[in-house]
Chains A and B, each alone.
Chain A
Amino acid sequence: MTDAVIECRNVWKIFGDKSKEAHKVVNERGLSKTEILEQYGCVVGVADVSFTVGKGEIFCIMGLSGSGKSTLVRHINRLVEPTAGSIRVANQDVNSLNGTQLRQMRSQSVGMVFQNMALLPHRTVIDNVALSLELRGMAKGSRHDVALEKLRLVSLDGWGDRYPDELSGGMKQRVGLARAMAADPEILLMDEPFSALDPLIRRQLQEQFLELSKVLKKTTVFITHDLDEAIRLGTHIAIMKDGRFVQVGTAEQIVTEPIDGYVADFVKGISRLELVSAGRVMKPIAGAQASALTGPTVLATDKLSKLLQIAKEHDGVITVVDGDRPVGVISRHDLLDAVTG
């Protein structure tokens, strides 16, 4: 892929004094996270993770608490230095940037939303939002104009002169969001940005965010605990466990073909109707039988919900077509199978 904006190769992060030795041994003998902790007193944060995120994509990372999600995204703007591996952002090796280049990258091209918000308690909301612009030396008037606009975007107009301790958890998260977007960075690192929001606002912000990243082609790494959110937003989803990526794929791949029990547990109970497409359910038919096209037809990319609509009105099999060439059939039985998973 040539338009990869973020590219991580075999990234390892081991916390502790003996991290280098631990890393060597892990590579040679493949010890587990617990063994490393017992034998070396080191905590494995990230273990051999590789991925690429293309321009405009939203890459979702999911995983249990402590699986290394926050540690992994911190590598992208080098808040954490890797024990091994390389991280490239916009075709630059992040770990070879000098101080000035690094600061420039952080204040202009990478915005970050923190899991714990991390607002500056001694500054008003508007000064929090304008932080990256201020650090970069923009004049007060113009940076406040930008900040006001971003506050409007997250429906917090009128709150600019308050202090963070006067805000609710969800409002703080939205301030964090506005702060990350103030500099209009090409890359957004979002660590559970919507977790403290009520379902209504969450939904609204998700949609706004999708819209925004489509229009402005923002590249995003998005951490969430909420599979629905990951499915709604993610171009790709990675499931993380003990520092490793267990599975990476589209939402449909992860839901229909979980690689192991851990992933299966994650996706259990998720509604498949908007996810699984006809192409995955159909029985392929060999050879062209164009003459047999009598019943209803669908495209391979149509989702189960549409198939159900059709099945309500027609009793027979549904034909899947590519152009006007039939490529497969779906019986009522196949359909019910697919819905129940």
Chain B
Amino acid sequence: MPECRILDPFACAKLPLDSWMSVGLRWVVDNYRPFFQAVKAPIDSMLQSFMAALGAVPPMVVIIVVALIAWQIAGIRLAIGLAATLLFVGFIGVWPETMLTLAIVLTSLIFSLVIGIPLGIWASRSETLYAILRPLLDGMQTIPAFVYLVPVVMLFGIGNVPGVIVTVIFAVAPVVRLTYLGMKQVPEDVVEAMRAFGATESQLLWKAQLPLALPTIMAGVNQTLMMSLSMVVIASMIAVGGLGQMVLRGIGRLDIGIATVGGLGIVALAIVLDRLTQALATPQKKGEWLNRGPVGLIRSFTKSSQTDSAHQLASPAIDN
């Protein structure tokens, strides 16, 4: 035991927080491991389906679908830009890795939303919950992700599924926060009017609060997505495959080539997902999209062919 001095008390007195954490985690692992293993099942099955689907569809089909979606929600320019980005990804030879990373990111996104949006709504109705949630969210966003890699590995093992879990922990905060914010920003007088005309709580939520909060929630979705992507490399340290794995291997072997293509793949994926969700986040009026993009084109075709045939029916004898 070193001697104790008042000016440097740290030498003899130490709070054994580190061993508490170890013991505590050990205890959780020993007693609740089956529970944590069970949590993996739904994540695993969703991830498998995404992987199977994205792997089975030919690359050009994926690119065309993405371009059509982009055209529909934002316009032809974005469609061309995103298609070019994805073509580039294919031509630098990282298509399979990109699809795997996309599957992981989409799975993380869905679980983040399933957890985050209800939590945000609930917090907007209970100040107590929000007071509890706030420091937690701050912590999840600021504690370096490396720190919770350890407990996640001990509880869930390694591989793609624990990778999704780490990503969700890291990325869920923005969607909770912005859902909360969006709900709080719904004008008080609109809520009052809904009540005054006899709305139930769920009608209030679905017919007024959620639609009005939607642009803000979508901004949260966008941020969550970007944070998921930023976890890709870190998650690869617990044996998650895909683009992150390429970057990690590049670092390990000092192979600048493989690190660069992996990195560019991540950037490309980030651009595509960011632009798509941002386009979704801009408020739109109901029904407007029907007259735009591919859908609008098809509608105008069917309409004009109908009127054409109507003309022909109406004036059958003019040609002769």
What is A's interface to B at a CB cutoff of 8 Å? 77, 79, 103-108, 110, 112, 114, 116, 118-122, 124, 131-132, 134-136, 163, 179, 183
Contacts and interface: CB of A to CB of B under 8 A. Distances in A.
Given A118-B190, A121-B190, A103 B196 contact: no
Contact of A104 (B192, B196, B198, B212): B198
B211 interface: yes
Give the dominant DSSP class at B's interface.
helix
Interface string B277-296: 00000000110000000000
B196 A106 contact: yes
A219 B96 CA distance: 71
Contacts of B190: 118, 120-121
Interface string B238-269: 00000000000000000000000000000000
B208 interface: yes
Contacts of A77: 196
Contacts of B193: 112, 114, 118-120, 131
A70 B285 CA distance: 32
Interface of B: 187, 189-190, 192-200, 203, 207-208, 211-212, 285-286
Contacts of B285: 163
Nearest to A104: B198
B189 A118 contact: yes
Contacts of A106: 195-198
A335 B193 CA distance: 50
Max chain B Cβ within 10 angstroms of own Cβ: one of A104, A135, A163, A179:
A135
A131 B197 contact: yes
B208 A120 contact: yes
Given A120-B208, A122-B212, A136 B192 contact: no
B196 to A, nearest CB: 5
Nearest to A134: B207
A103 B200 contact: yes
Contacts of B199: 103, 135
A222 B211 CA distance: 32
9 contacts: A79-B196, A103-B200, A106-B195, A107-B197, A119-B193, A121-B212, A124-B286, A135-B203, A135-B207
A116 B198 contact: no
Most chain B beta-carbon contacts within 10 A, residue among A79, A108, A114, A120: A120
A79 B192 contact: yes
Nearest to A105: B198
A112 B192 CA distance: 11
B198 A112 contact: no
Contacts of A119: 193
A105 B197 CA distance: 9
Contacts of A135: 194, 197-200, 203, 207
A121 B190 CA distance: 9
A231 B192 CA distance: 30
Contacts of B189: 114, 116, 118
A105 B196 CA distance: 9
A183 B198 CA distance: 11
Contacts of A110: 196
A107 B198 contact: yes
A303 to B, nearest CB: 38
A132 B203 CA distance: 11
A77 B198 CA distance: 10
A336 B122 CA distance: 69
B287 to A, nearest CB: 9
Contacts of A104: 198
Nearest to B285: A163
Contacts of B208: 120, 122
Given A114-B189, A122-B212, A136 B196 contact: no
Given A106-B197, A108-B198, A110-B196, 11 more contacts: A103-B198, A105-B198, A106-B195, A116-B189, A120-B193, A124-B286, A131-B197, A135-B194, A135-B207, A179-B197, A183-B197
Contacts of A112: 193, 196-197
Contact of B192 (A118, A132, A183): A118
Contacts of B195: 79, 106
Contacts of B286: 122, 124
Nearest to A131: B197
Nearest to B212: A122
A120 B192 CA distance: 11
B215 to A, nearest CB: 10
A75 to B, nearest CB: 12
A132 B212 contact: no
Contacts of A136: 198
A306 B195 CA distance: 49
A158 to B, nearest CB: 18
Contacts of B207: 134-135
Contacts of A103: 198-200
A258 B193 CA distance: 36
B285 to A, nearest CB: 7
Nearest to A103: B198
B277 to A, nearest CB: 20
Nearest to A106: B198
B93 to A, nearest CB: 46
B286 to A, nearest CB: 8
Nearest to B196: A112
Contacts of B194: 120, 131, 135
B211 A132 contact: no
Contacts of A132: 197-198
Contacts of B212: 121-122
A79 B195 CA distance: 8
